[in-house]
Amino acid sequence: MLHISAADVDHALTFPGLVKVLRDAFRDGAVQPVRHHHAVERPGSAGSTLLLMPAWTDFKAADGKDGHIGVKIVTVSPDNNAIGKPAVMGLYLLLDGATGEPEALIDGQRLTQWRTASASALAASFLAREDASRLLVIGAGALSSFLAKAHSAVRPIKEIRIWNRTPANAEKVAAALRAEGFAAEAASDLEAELGQADIVSSATISQTPLVKGARLKAGAHVDLVGGFTPDMREADDDAISRARVFVDTRAGATKEAGDIVKPLASGVLKEADIVAELAELARGQKKGRESAEEITLFKSVGAALEDLAAGIAVYRALKR
């Protein structure tokens, strides 16, 4: 069994390559039960969430070999931020699809960062304007730089703005991106940035909407990544009602995502208003952006298929 570190994952993947891998994976499909949520209560703290995300292929791979089984084990502990640790921790276990033999144990945090950002970029390849050049990233957590790089891999991004409640953290992310050659700056006025962005990518665990629909310009694409429970909300009702709405999976988003669950409950959004999920876009069954002026919104909660596809890609790249 291979033990694959975060550095190994970085070495194995590229954003254009992983976007293609995910496009193929959503087109071909896999078995992916809705992920399990377990609340881990801790007196005197915010507690943690334990997530279990299994998936497996029920077909032979293109090279004729049997498929794979994978499961990601993730914990989300909001109090970690206060002690300088990431809120999200995790591991990914990849197994041989025929024998169940363990093939790889992969750094789950890094795999999640790569696949989440690449899924957002895949959605943007269908939904963002082809000339989108200004990106606003809301949140300065570990995922923020991955989102900036992934969106830049599918659209001609010339300006990147990072906004965070703690400005120093936004500047830290922007500085790291500049060091890699990206034109990135920290932003101080969120509402002003919302009005200028071609793509808004939000990765927070906020329970108060940060993306105000009234501020979005015509033609904008909104990418909501962070909220993963019905209580979390990154975009307000105006953003939902002004946009054509897309999700990674209907089963996950309509059950777990506050940005979808709450508007459905209030009547702001109807299930029929969800235009498509990623598999339908990847298969050409549904159309993405239809005009230059429309606002599009993509909500992801994370699909086990993404982890499986990314884990297989990493394993194959490093096993050679």
List b or e across 56-83, with b for residues whose CB sees 16 or more CB atoms inside 10 angstroms. bbeeeeeeeeebbbbbbebbbbeebeee
Mean residue pLDDT across the chain: 94
3-state helix, strand, coil in the chain (%, to 5): 40, 25, 35
β-pair type (199-202, 221-224): parallel
- Between 29-38, 89-98, 175-184, 225-234, the lowest mean confidence (pLDDT) is in 29-38
Distance CA 298, CA 124 (A): 8
The pLDDT value recorded for residue 196 is 98
**CA atoms in the 13 A half-sphere facing the CB of 227:** 31
Q: Which tokens hold the place of 77?
A: 């502990």
- Check pLDDT > 60 for residue 6: yes
Nearest Cα to Cα of residue 222 among 280, 300, 142, 116 = 300
Give pTM, 2 decimals. 0.92
Per-residue pLDDT reduced to its tens digit, 228-253: 889 999 999 999 999 999 999 998 89
pLDDT computed for residue 81 by the predictor: 80
* pLDDT per residue as tens digits for the range 26-84: 999 889 887 788 999 988 888 898 999 999 986 555 555 568 999 999 998 888 888 88
Element of type H or E holding 75: strand 68-76
Cβ neighbour number for residue 166 with a 10 Å cutoff: 10
pLDDT tens for residues 142-159? 899 999 999 999 999 999
- For the chain, give the number of residues: 320
Taking residues 266-286, what's their average pLDDT? 97
Report the pLDDT value the prediction gives residue 64, as an integer from 0 to 100. Answer: 53
Residue 205 pairs in a beta bridge with: none
Euclidean distance between CA atoms 225 and 211, whole angstroms: 12
